[in-house]
Amino acid sequence: MVKTDTVCKNCLFAQFADVTQVNCGLGLLTKYEEAGIKIQEAYDHEKEFYIIPGKFCSSYRTINWEHQGENLSRQQLELNRENQISYLHIVHMEKDSTLEELYDNIKSVVEGNKIKPELICIIKDIGNTVPNTLISSISESFSIPWMLRIQANPEINDRFLLDSFLLTYPYKKYQYYIYSSCSIRLNNFVDYLNYAINNELFRFGIIHSKSNIAEILVVNKLIHTYLGGNKPQNLEEKIGVVDEKMLFNYLDILKGTSYENFMSKLK
């Protein structure tokens, strides 16, 4: 994948002493270093400045930014708004999934997070007997765009349907998708993910957790495209070969100090 360096020289938040950059007004240089990124020093005929190698800093702004004249607190609020993640929520209704489980899953995402999905897609196994009219009634109650895909061929697995849906979905404005079984509950998880990405510089390709009864898959859209979806192997297996550092376990994240600290702030 193509990697982009971030050159701090013309960033609105770069702090200079005369012509030498000394810091980042948002404290991001320290956070990048804590994340294992070795900040580089550079200079040209005008200034001495820092470069963040191989990373695009989502907080990079120039003097042309519409909020450049506001105070730092206001600017940070605007950065949070502009950098907020966008995502699709895809629910897998397996053969034995109930209408109540579907409702609780969608509710945990829509009402349990401040950041709402761009779309809810329900993938229903052919053997599931929950009437489509009831699924429609529940989906429409959340006032989020939605669609239903039915697994018409039992020989086609849910990952194939996932890939097919993402290829045909016309609305391209999303960065991630969350694919989960009905039994998964995601209260506060999306908001935490947004916080970790934008405030702690958490970077991932795939977050996954799979057992005999539940599955969750959170995927960066670019990674899905780069790896070619789930053929001939599932994405988790592919990325483990390409870069295992981009693969994270969902349950490990829930047990992590960062997540615990975030949750404590909500109380």
Give the CATH number, domain containing residue 250.
3.90.550.10
125 and 50, same structural domain? no
171 and 55, same structural domain? no
Q: What is the mean pLDDT of the chain?
A: 90
91 and 59, same structural domain? no
CA distance 159 to 88: 15
Is residue 155 domain-resident? yes
Is residue 262 domain-resident? yes
22 and 103, same structural domain? no
Is residue 74 domain-resident? no
Q: How many domains does the chain have?
A: 2
Cα distances (angstroms) measured from residue 222 to each of 2, 99, 136, 174, 179: 11, 32, 30, 10, 16
233 and 136, same structural domain? yes
Is residue 79 domain-resident? no
Give the pLDDT confidence score for residue 267 in this predicted structure.
66
Q: Is 162:131 a contact under the CB 8 Å cutoff?
A: no
- Chain-centre distance of CA 133, in angstroms? 31
Q: Give the range of the structural domain holding residue 47, as residue numbers without chain letter.
A: 6-63
Domain final residue, candidates 63, 79, 98: 63
pTM listed for this prediction: 0.87
246 and 131, same structural domain? yes
CA distance 91 to 80: 27
111 and 227, same structural domain? yes
258 and 152, same structural domain? yes
Over residues 56-82, the mean pLDDT reads: 92
Report whether pLDDT(149) > 70.
yes
Is residue 72 domain-resident? no
Is residue 70 domain-resident? no
Q: Scanning the structure block, which residue is given the tokens 């009831």?
A: 134
Over residues 187-191, the mean pLDDT reads: 95
Report whether pLDDT(170) > 70.
no
User: Of 214, 158, 206, which Cα lies nearest the Cα of 182?
Assistant: 214
Report whether pLDDT(171) > 70.
no
197 and 256, same structural domain? yes
208 and 150, same structural domain? yes
Tens-digit pLDDT profile for residues 222-241: 899 999 999 888 898 898 77
51 and 110, same structural domain? no
3-state SS of the chain is: CCCCCEECCCCCCEEEECCEEEEECCCHHHHHHHCCCCCEEEECCCCEEEEECCCCCCCCCCCCCCCCCCCHHHHHHHHHHHCCCCEEEEEEECCCCCHHHHHHHHHHHHCCCCCCCCEEEEEECCCCCCCHHHHHHHHHCCCCCEEEEECCCCCCCHHHHHHHHHHHCCCCCCCEEEEEECCCCCCCHHHHHHHHHHHCCCCCCEEEEECCCCEEEEEEHHHHHHHCCCCCCCHHHHHHHHCHHHEEEHHHHHCCHHHHHHHHHHC
* Residues whose CB is less than 8 angstroms from the CB of residue 165 and which lie 6 or more positions away in sequence, other chains included: 90, 121, 123, 149
Is residue 214 domain-resident? yes
